Chain A
Amino acid sequence: MNCMELRRSLLVNPRLRDREQQMHARECAACHAFAMELEGLESMIEDAVRVPVPEALAERVILRQRTQRSGRRVLFALAASLALAIGVGMHVYRGVDTIDEQPIAATSLGYQNPAVAAISYVLEHEPQLLRTNQSGDPAVMRDALLRLGMTLPEDRVKVRYLGKCPVPGGTGEHLVLATPSGHVTLILVPDRSLGTRVVVDFRGRTAVSSPIRSGSYIVVADSLQTVKKLEQM
């Protein structure tokens, strides 16, 4: 094996070294240095690709698979609630008078309340998510929405961010929407009830947490008026 052959093989895989390669590297100082250099580079690449993994990822995968196995009910609920939450949310509450409802103070609900916690999450994490998220490409967003079975009134609403966020007892689908009234956060929790409808003012934002069919949704905006505009869209 000559120097060129050794270097070629090291560039393909620095970790893979047979006896012939090792022998050459021992006898040739330049190739030895080259091999050491590539090994150092390889360690740096390995460190870089081992990114932190979300906690309990495997458990969430297994849970979802088991839930789906029990029927398509959850998937249907997801698609239905996503569409309803955005499109016709208010129809679910025909029997509930929400016209005159007034926000209540966060202190009376506690900071663990889903609506209050959602406001905190939006204020603390959303600016960063909007800055760093790379799935903001409209084409990618459309694909993601299609995968979720969602339809948006695209003439009035644009998705600026789509991801996941923590909600009590699990994760929710987190969307930041650009609407004619400004940015609105919509958090969808398809398979869990977050309790009865709550409207809360906290840290200059208004949030509504509301049950919908088999799950719940939370809307966070700068005012109750903006929240309701989205609900009625």
Chain B
Amino acid sequence: MLFAGKQAEFDGVVRAFSVELYRYAYGLCRDRFVAEDLVQDTFTRAWRAWDKLEDDKAARAWLYTILRNEHARLFERKRLDHDEDQDLDEIPDLSSGANPLPGLEVRDAIRALPEGYREPLLLQVLGGFSCAEIANVMRISEGAVMTRLTRARIAFRQLPGWERQMRKKSS
């Protein structure tokens, strides 16, 4: 009976969070097949450690942390290469492409954000996490989270044509 309860609880958590976790995974890896694998692996790990989860309310942030670790493990080599090119002290210039597109899709712009900026943005927009919670998931300071979110949004505001897109959306 105890096991059945645990299974039901797990099933409920999978149904509640698999969609947003998939979107977070997709935001990180930008591949739908890898994203699904990441979600599968996240829940597999979560099930194995289910007994360690003391507070049900913490399940969501815990799952995001597991998924983030799974992604980091999978993309470890790629991440190291990427970080060398990434200067988080600078506001990313998303308009630096050879041909700035007036109709640049926001999805492309998110994709173009350095991972260090994209990640807190995804956690905030998809997960609705506070800066303190994001800091906890990303293991960085709350101040660093605030700085990265600010710079990510400044980068979006510098996109050529984004105002036009916004007008188009609101019309």
Contacts and interface: CB of A to CB of B under 8 A. Distances in A.
Given A41-B166, A58-B18, A61-B18, A49 B44 contact: no
B74 A61 contact: no
A108 B157 CA distance: 60
Counting contact residues on chain B (CB < 8 A from A), the size range is 35 or more
A12 B41 CA distance: 31
Interface stretch (B52-60, B93-101, B118-126): B118-126
Interface in A158-191: 162-164
Interface residues of A, number: 43
Contacts of B39: 57, 61
Nearest to B76: A143
B43 A137 contact: no
B125 A135 contact: no
A51 B107 CA distance: 9
A38 B156 CA distance: 10
Contacts of B124: 13
B68 to A, nearest CB: 16
B149 A135 contact: no
Contacts of B26: 51
A82 B75 CA distance: 22
Contacts of A162: 33
B150 A8 contact: yes
A229 B54 CA distance: 54
Nearest to A57: B18
A62 to B, nearest CB: 5
B161 to A, nearest CB: 12
Contacts of A143: 73-77
B162 interface: yes
Interface in A133-171: 133-135, 137, 139-140, 143-144, 147, 162-164
Nearest to A65: B47
A132 to B, nearest CB: 9
Contacts of A46: 125
A100 interface: no
Given A11-B154, A164-B33, A37 B166 contact: yes
A45 interface: yes
A5 interface: no
Contact of A45 (B15, B146, B156, B170): B156
Interface in B67-94: 73-78
A164 B32 CA distance: 9
Contacts of B131: 12-13
A65 B43 contact: yes
A62 B14 CA distance: 7
Contacts of A8: 150
A53 interface: yes
Nearest to B167: A40
Given A40-B166, A44-B106, A68-B47, 14 more contacts: A8-B150, A12-B131, A45-B106, A48-B110, A50-B23, A57-B22, A58-B18, A60-B40, A61-B14, A65-B14, A135-B29, A140-B78, A147-B41, A162-B33
Interface of B: 7, 10-11, 14-15, 18-19, 22-23, 26-27, 29-34, 36-37, 39-41, 43-44, 47, 73-78, 105-107, 109-110, 121-122, 124-126, 131, 146, 149-150, 153-154, 156-157, 162-163, 165-166, 169-170
Closest 10 CB pairs of A and B: A163-B33, A48-B106, A11-B150, A48-B107, A139-B77, A40-B166, A58-B18, A44-B106, A58-B15, A135-B31
